């Protein structure tokens, strides 16, 4: 079957009637034709602009006419217009583009480099002044064009972009202003609170900073199969790639603050502050199943738990954050005025934390095992309900599994062997057989 037979009325093509061999042959042929048609549109728009034909349509500009008539965004239309004008200066690129060897993005990347070649070669003298080249800019542009077009014909736009960036880094003199992608002075990072109370961040960084960030995120954002059944079966990580990167970023920030290496602010080391009533906290941990519910016990809320930067938070999150934290008791009167500020104490002292590291070797949740440095110390019986801060009442959990335990579906207890055991919810195991901690389910290797 010929491609031309399909293009007369493509909407009427019955794909199931096409032979398998024809199917796999038609797709790349159609892709080449699409690139050729895109090049043809650029040529037609350029000719219409040159003749002034756009004025016949009543449009205010060629860009607005193209965007409206072709259902393109204004930005896409503007790029097409500028590409048509630039192609006149580089006939080899135009020929490759019109033949369908390269697409629009490849043509734009290549032309973007060729336009900068005169600046890159301005310090090279030609042969008339005792140099080695008749026309340094022309010779450099010719070599770059052949190299990029030859490779562009068999690769995608991203590959071509990387080749262009590589050539630019080699050609640019060392004593000039760095290109935008390497200029750290152009870095920006925005953080704003949304109407729903979340924090939205966006930004862009130079290559060196970006490489450092991606390196830091890479090891922490790998998929982590979970062990969710008593038979030891591993299920795929249910988080998407953006979710894994967000979790990794949160771990990096938390680890940095915990390290104490950050500069002080307001006379104190950076820390996250949570204000919550002790009675509210105790009630929440009981309702979550972390402590047995006492009949007849009730607490009146003094107000929401909250944080200085982002405002009110749920009591469940407050309970999770309070498991392994420094606590400063503040006595308030009925009008909310502080009467007395007690001494700040850390719930889990460093010596006990080291003992937890030695016992659990990291996150104890079955199938996890994240490094101990990235974990919280969770109170099996919450301290707000009288639970003691001692080895037999503590377990190391990463933030993800710490939150999971506080939801109350999974439960954890310290067994007769003095190690954590985890009880899955009934929909995972109807018998709810306890599962040993991660390091206890592995081979007895040193941690």
Separation CA 66–CA 53 (nearest Å)? 12
Sign of CA dihedral 405, 406, 409, 415: positive
Work out how many domains the chain is built from and give that number.
4
Dihedral angle of Cα 416, 417, 421, 426, to the nearest 10 degrees: -50
pTM reported for the whole predicted model: 0.54
Phi and psi, residue 264, nearest 5° = -70, 160
| Structural domain range at position 230 | 191-259
Element (H, E) at 188: strand 188-193
Separation CA 212–CA 25 (nearest Å)? 43
61 and 32 inside one domain: yes
447 belongs to a structural domain: no
DSSP-derived letter for residue 83 is H
Element (H, E) at 330: strand 330-332
18 and 151 inside one domain: yes
Which residues on neighbouring strands pair with residue 307, listed in sequence order?
311
248 belongs to a structural domain: yes
The first and second tokens of residue 405, run together, are: 């335990």
Sign of CA dihedral 256, 259, 261, 265: positive
17 and 163 inside one domain: yes
374 and 302 inside one domain: no
Separation CA 375–CA 396 (nearest Å)? 6
C-alpha count within 13 angstroms, C-beta hemisphere, residue 78: 3
23 and 170 inside one domain: yes
Give the Cα-Cα-Cα angle 163, 169, 175 (nearest 5 degrees): 170
43 and 157 inside one domain: yes
pLDDT tens, per residue, the chain with 447 residues: 678 878 888 888 888 888 899 889 999 999 999 999 999 999 999 998 888 888 888 888 888 999 998 898 999 889 888 898 899 899 999 999 999 999 999 999 999 999 999 888 887 765 555 555 578 888 899 999 999 999 999 999 999 998 998 888 888 776 667 777 778 888 999 999 888 888 899 999 988 888 888 988 887 888 776 655 445 566 677 788 888 888 888 888 878 877 766 676 555 555 667 777 777 677 666 655 554 444 344 444 455 677 777 777 777 777 777 777 777 766 666 666 776 676 666 678 888 888 998 999 889 998 888 888 778 888 888 877 778 888 999 999 988 888 888 887 899 999 999 999 999 988 888 888 999 998 886 544 444
Report which of 425, 421, 394, 393 is spatially closest to residue 407, judged by C-alpha positions: 425
């Amino acid at each position: 079957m010929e491609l031309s037979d399909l293009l007369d009325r493509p909407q009427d093509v019955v794909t199931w009637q096409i032979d398998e061999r024809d199917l796999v042959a038609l797709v790349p042929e159609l892709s080449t034709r699409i690139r050729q048609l895109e090049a043809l549109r650029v040529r037609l728009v350029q000719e219409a602009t040159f003749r002034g034909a756009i004025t016949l349509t009543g449009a205010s500009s060629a860009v607005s006419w193209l965007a409206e008539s072709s259902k393109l965004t204004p930005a896409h239309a503007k790029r097409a217009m500028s590409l048509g004008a630039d192609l006149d200066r580089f006939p080899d690129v135009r020929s490759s583009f019109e033949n369908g060897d390269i697409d629009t993005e490849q043509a734009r990347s290549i032309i973007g480099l060729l336009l900068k070649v005169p600046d890159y070669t301005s310090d090279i003298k030609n042969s008339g002044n005792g140099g080695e080249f008749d026309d340094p800019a022309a010779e450099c542009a010719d070599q770059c064009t052949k190299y990029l077009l030859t490779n562009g014909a068999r690769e995608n736009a991203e590959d071509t972009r990387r080749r262009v960036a590589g050539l630019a880094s080699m050609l640019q003199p060392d004593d000039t202003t760095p290109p935008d992608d390497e200029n750290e002075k152009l870095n920006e990072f925005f953080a704003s609170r949304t109407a729903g109370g979340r924090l939205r961040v966006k930004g862009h960084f130079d290559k060196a900073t970006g490489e450092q960030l991606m390196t830091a995120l890479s090891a922490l954002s790998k998929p982590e199969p979970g062990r969710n059944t008593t038979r030891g079966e591993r299920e795929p990580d249910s988080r998407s790639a953006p979710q894994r990167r967000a979790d990794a970023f949160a771990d990096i920030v938390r680890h940095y603050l915990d390290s104490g290496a950050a500069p002080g602010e307001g006379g104190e080391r950076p820390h996250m502050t949570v204000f919550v009533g002790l009675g509210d906290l105790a009630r929440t941990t009981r309702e979550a199943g972390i402590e047995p519910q006492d009949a007849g016990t009730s607490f009146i809320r003094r107000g929401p738990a909250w944080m200085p930067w982002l405002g009110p938070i749920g009591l469940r999150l407050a309970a999770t954050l309070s498991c392994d934290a420094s606590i400063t008791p503040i006595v308030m009167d009925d009008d909310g005025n502080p009467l007395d500020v007690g001494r700040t104490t850390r719930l889990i002292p460093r010596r006990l934390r080291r003992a937890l590291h030695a016992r659990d070797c990291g996150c104890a949740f079955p199938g996890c095992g994240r490094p101990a440095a990235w974990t919280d110390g969770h109170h099996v019986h919450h301290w707000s309900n009288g639970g003691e801060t001692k080895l037999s009442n503590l377990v190391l959990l990463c933030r993800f599994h710490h939150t999971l335990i506080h939801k109350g579906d999974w439960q954890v207890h310290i067994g007769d062997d003095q190690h954590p055991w985890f009880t899955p919810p009934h929909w995972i195991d109807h018998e709810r057989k306890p599962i040993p901690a991660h390091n206890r389910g592995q081979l007895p290797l040193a941690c």
